[in-house]
Amino acid sequence: MNEKHQTNADDGNSVSIDQKLIEEGTAQLNSEIQVLEAWLLELDSSDEENSETLAARKSYKDMLSSRKEMLSTLAKQAKLQAVSSD
């Protein structure tokens, strides 16, 4: 019944994220952001304005916003980790 926790030396409550994992996550999020932006441009250039197009545009914008927020959070984590390792 022993529980093991991986923590930073500075803060017993935070989990340390490997630098390689941060880099891979950043690359993946940037790739997804590019795809979503391309899809939105494609929708914007389309002449169709039906309920499907509107729903897709809203969905893609929501996903894009989410990915950008995750990217920002990951960048903050990377910065905190770099500071704590100095």
Asked if 32 and 65 count as a contact pair (C-beta separation under 8 A), the reply is no
Average pLDDT of the residues in 10-31: 78
What pLDDT score does 33 carry? 98
Q: Is 80 exceeded by the pLDDT of residue 21?
A: yes
CA atoms of 37 and 41, how far apart (whole Å): 6
Which among 66, 86, 79, 72 has a CA at the least distance from the CA of 17?
A: 79
- pLDDT at 78 (0 to 100): 85
pLDDT given for residue 58 in this prediction: 96
pLDDT at 81 over 50: yes
